[in-house]
């Protein structure tokens, strides 16, 4: 509130001190002399305003520096989190690849077992397992063995497996 009251007073003082058009300026720019004041009160007001401006600029500069430091700290923290997430992602990808390899190995072993069974028994068992698993097993079997098993299955189940086999990703 003090600044708002002082500004009109300073303006009036400065206007009243304005040099006449023909007279040389009392304090030329760069002359290196101190500014001349008409009264002690004017000098005090000007020094007070300059001091307040300086302290405001210093406070703003300090606030800005603090915000820059905080942003830098947050940036470092976010980078660390990103690195941690990337490490977790790589770990999960490795686990998934291991699981997929083990699953593929088990399906290949099942396919070998079903090939060694009689076509009638294999058809009966494959007709009761999950559709996706049955397709994966048939895909890993020799064509001749798979054809014998499908031949011994219920006609509708064999047709369904054949249709899904042609459109499903079997790994």
User: For 105-161, how does the pLDDT look when each residue is reduced to its tens digit (9 = 90+)?
Assistant: 999 999 999 999 999 999 999 989 998 999 999 999 999 999 999 999 989 999 998
Residues 114, 146 contacting (CB under 8 angstroms): no
Q: Hey, what's the torsion of the CAs at 146, 151, 154, 159, to 10 degrees?
A: 70
Domain borders along the chain are 37-167
The predicted-structure confidence for 12-61, as pLDDT tens digits, reads as follows: 555 455 454 444 444 444 444 466 778 877 778 777 777 777 777 888 88
Assigned CATH for 37-167: 1.10.220
Q: How many CA atoms lie within 13 A of 147 on its CB side?
A: 3
User: Residue 43: what pLDDT?
Assistant: 78
User: Residue 25: what pLDDT?
Assistant: 47
Residues 143, 165 contacting (CB under 8 angstroms): no
Residues 152, 164 contacting (CB under 8 angstroms): no
User: Residue 96: what pLDDT?
Assistant: 97
Instruction: Tell me how far apart the 2 most distant CA atoms of the chain are, in Å.
Output: 122
Q: What is the DSSP string of 88-106?
A: HHHHHHHHHHHHHHHHHHH
Which residue is associated with the tokens 């210093």?
58
Q: What is the mean pLDDT of residues 55-75?
A: 90
What lies within 8 Å, CB to CB, of 38 at 6+ separation is 13, 16, 17
User: Residue 171: what pLDDT?
Assistant: 47
User: Residue 24: what pLDDT?
Assistant: 46
């Amino acid at each position: 509130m003090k600044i708002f009251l002082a500004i009109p007073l300073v303006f009036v003082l400065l206007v009243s001190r304005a040099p006449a058009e023909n007279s040389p300026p009392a304090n030329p720019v760069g002359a290196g002399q101190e500014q001349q004041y008409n009264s002690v009160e004017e000098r005090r007001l000007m020094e007070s305003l300059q001091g307040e401006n300086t302290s405001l600029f210093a406070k703003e500069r300090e606030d800005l520096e603090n915000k820059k430091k905080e942003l830098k700290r947050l940036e470092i923290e976010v980078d660390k989190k990103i690195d941690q997430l990337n490490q977790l992602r790589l770990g999960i990808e490795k686990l998934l690849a291991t699981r997929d390899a083990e699953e593929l190995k088990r399906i290949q072993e099942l396919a070998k077992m079903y090939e060694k069974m009689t076509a009638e028994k294999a058809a009966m068992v494959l007709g009761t397992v999950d559709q996706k698993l049955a397709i994966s097993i048939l895909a890993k079997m020799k064509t001749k063995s798979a054809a014998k098993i499908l031949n011994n299955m219920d006609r509708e189940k064999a047709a369904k497996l054949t249709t899904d086999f042609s459109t499903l990703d079997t790994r």
